[in-house]
């Protein structure tokens, strides 16, 4: 794919990582993109780099539009290596360029690379730089999702270069949301939020508030992963979705997550799910033997009820359940009602110690855990059904 003009004299010069299958344990079956943007103006500016092993494609696209000797600025919105991995190579090609970033970004660049000889322009929220016909305005968004994260707004083009905000891990033969099926791209945007930004809802809300207070009139959002949101309707769709996700508002649905060795916990999971079905509450059931943890987390975004089932193994959580609980705990979903259940053979109490206590740590409402030794008979199935109904009163 050649460089693509996204606005007059502003080009997508990023790369497509078609073969990416996972990102920090997050399943990425559609690959991803590392989006980089070149602004042709009196002071030619490159915004964000790409992952190091695809640097040659980024460089070729830049060269198709300008010579590296003419680049005045390289904006580093975020130093995570999928965005900054080739910045040292870019700086060798454009040693005259000044790095624009914030104080945390400068510190992170110096921690990652040999930055000897690099010049910086340090910015903070509300600062702006004229590059000719255009003005670049900056908004720091710390912990969305690194301390150095920020966004760059091209005022005259009403274009927000949002880095990790509003993105999707999705590679396609287009760079435009409008060319994709709406349901697909929103699912991937939601998956990205669930697996990358879930712990930072407060920071996301603050970023949205800051954009409002700065009076940013946004007609296009160009993230650093996935497709570009163009036009007021698409922009409002993703901004509204983020506002809802960040607030912790849910749709009242239930999620049952479990694993099973000999079917006992699976039987309990089916009974738990039936409670919500009978109450007319949407419920989705995930077996960790077949679902990646990141797929499960997408359903946590708009769920109210979370039920996790575990078959105790060697007096511990079952490995896939343990991995999921660790992953979920790190993402810190809020405003949930939790229920831990499962089966055991030798030692009871494992789910209380390692699942129920995590619910309490996260500040969720809970009902007491439920365990059964070995295979649940019909009377036990009735007991867990009655027990699960306590959740409906929460």
Respond yes or no: is residue 112 known to be catalytic. no
Rounded alpha-carbon distances, angstroms, from residue 200 to 107, 157, 330, 373: 22, 29, 11, 39
Give pLDDT tens digits for 312-338.
999 899 999 999 999 999 999 999 999
User: Among 193, 220, 247, which residue terminates a domain?
Assistant: 247
| Overall domain count for the chain | 2
Find the catalytic residue in 80, 89, 121, 270: 80
Asked whether residue 221 falls in the same domain as residue 365, the answer is no
- C-alpha pair distances (Å), 300 with each of 133, 239, 372: 45, 19, 26
Given this model, what pLDDT does residue 31 score? 95
Asked if 179 and 285 sit in the same domain, the reply is no
Query: Is the domain of 218 the same as that of 304?
Result: no
Q: 59 and 203, same structural domain?
A: yes
Q: Has residue 394 been placed in a domain? A: no
Catalytic residue among 30, 37, 192, 356: 192
Give the H/E segment covering residue 26. Answer: strand 26-27
Question: Would residue 120 count as lying in a domain?
Answer: yes
222 and 275 inside one domain: no
| Per-residue confidence (pLDDT) for residue 347, from 0 to 100 | 84
Claim to verify: residue 220 and residue 288 sit in the same structural domain: no
**Cis peptide leading into residue 243 (ω within 30°):** no
- The DSSP result for 336-355, as a single string, is -EEEEEEEESS---HHIIII
Among residues 17, 26, 73, 78, the one annotated as catalytic is 78
- Using the 3D structure, point to which of 209, 230, 247 is the last residue of a domain: 247
Q: How far apart are CA 27 and CA 41, in angstroms?
A: 39
11: domain range? 4-247
pLDDT in tens, 290-299: 999 999 999 9
Does one domain contain both 261 and 235? no
Q: Of the residues 145, 169, 286, 354, which is catalytic?
A: 145
Cβ–Cβ under 8 Å, residues 392 and 277: no
pLDDT for 323: 96
pLDDT of res. 206:
85
Of 321, 324, 307, 325, the closest CA to residue 366 belongs to: 307
Tell me the two tokens of residue 254. 């239930």
pLDDT < 50 regions, the chain: none
Evaluate whether residue 197 is within a structural domain.
Answer: yes
Q: Which residues contact 149 (CB under 8 A, 6 or more apart)?
A: 77, 78, 140, 141, 142, 143, 163, 164
Same domain, 232 and 284: no
What's the CATH number where 13 sits? 3.60.15.10
In the residue annotation, 299 being an active-site residue is answered as: no
Q: What is the pLDDT of residue 74?
A: 98
Report pLDDT for 204.
87
Per-residue model confidence (pLDDT) at position 146: 87
| CATH code of the domain in which 301 resides | 3.40.50.360
Active site residue 2: no
Q: Do 102 and 198 have their domain in common?
A: yes
pLDDT score at 144: 85
pLDDT of residue 24: 83
Give me the catalytic one of 48, 82, 188, 259: 82
E-only strand ranges, 164-317 = 220-223, 229-230, 253-258, 283-287, 303-311
To the query of whether residue 164 is one of the catalytic residues in this protein, the response is yes
Encoded tokens for 318: 């079952």
Residue 78 annotated to the active site: yes
Q: Is the domain of 234 the same as that of 86?
A: yes
Q: Indicate whether 25 and 78 sit together in one domain.
A: yes
- Written as one string, the DSSP assignment of 68-127 is GGGEEEEE-S--SHHHHTTHHHHHHH-TTPEEEE-HHHHHHHHHHS--TT-EEEE--TT-
- One domain, residues 30 and 78: yes
Report which DSSP code applies to 362.
T
pLDDT at 355: 97
Which of 247, 267, 294 finishes a domain? 247
Give, as one character, the DSSP assignment of residue 217.
Answer: -
What phi and psi values does residue 171 have, to the nearest 5 degrees? -105, 130
- Catalytic entry in 225, 286, 354, 387: 225
| 5 in active site | no
> Quick check: helix, strand or coil at residue 303?
strand
Contact assessment for residue 32 and residue 23, using Cβ atoms and an 8 Å cutoff = yes
Q: Which of 164, 234, 299, 302 is catalytic?
A: 164
């Amino acid at each position: 794919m050649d460089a693509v003009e996204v606005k007059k004299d502003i080009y997508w010069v990023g790369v497509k990582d078609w073969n990416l299958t996972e990102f920090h344990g997050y399943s990425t079956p559609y690959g991803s993109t590392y989006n980089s943007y070149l602004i042709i103006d009196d002071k030619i500016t490159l915004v964000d780099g790409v992952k190091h092993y695809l640097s040659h494609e980024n460089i070729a696209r830049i060269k198709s539009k300008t010579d590296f000797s003419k680049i005045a600025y390289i904006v580093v919105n975020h130093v995570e290596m999928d965005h900054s991995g080739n910045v040292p190579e870019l700086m060798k090609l454009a040693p005259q360029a000044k790095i624009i970033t914030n104080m945390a970004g400068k510190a992170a660049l110096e921690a990652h690379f040999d930055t000897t000889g690099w010049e910086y322009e340090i910015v903070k929220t509300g600062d702006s730089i004229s590059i000719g016909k255009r003005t670049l305005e900056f908004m720091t968004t710390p912990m969305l999702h690194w301390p150095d994260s920020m966004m760059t707004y091209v005022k005259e083009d009403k274009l927000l270069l949002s880095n990790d905000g509003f993105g999707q891990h999705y590679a396609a033969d287009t760079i435009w949301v409008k060319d994709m099926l709406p349901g697909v791209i929103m699912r991937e945007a939601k998956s990205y939020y669930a697996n990358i930004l879930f712990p930072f809802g407060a920071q996301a809300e603050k970023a949205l508030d800051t954009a409002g207070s700065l009076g940013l009139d946004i007609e296009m959002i160009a993230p650093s992963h996935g497709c570009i949101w163009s036009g007021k309707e698409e922009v409002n769709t993703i901004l509204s979705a983020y506002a809802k996700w960040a607030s912790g508002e849910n749709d009242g649905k239930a999620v049952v997550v479990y694993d099973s060795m000999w079917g006992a916990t699976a039987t309990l999971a089916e009974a738990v799910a039936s409670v919500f079905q009978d109450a007319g509450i949407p419920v989705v059931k995930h077996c960790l033997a077949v679902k990646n943890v990141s797929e499960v987390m997408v359903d946590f975004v708009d769920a109210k009820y979370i039920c996790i089932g575990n078959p105790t193994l060697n007096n511990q959580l079952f490995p896939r359940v343990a991995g999921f609980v660790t992953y979920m705990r790190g993402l810190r979903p809020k405003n949930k009602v939790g229920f831990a259940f499962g089966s055991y053979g030798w030692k009871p109490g494992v789910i209380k110690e390692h699942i129920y206590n995590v619910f309490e740590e996260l500040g969720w409402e809970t009902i007491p855990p439920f365990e059964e030794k070995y295979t649940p008979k019909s009377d036990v199935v009735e007991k867990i059904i009655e027990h699960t109904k306590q959740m409906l009163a929460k």
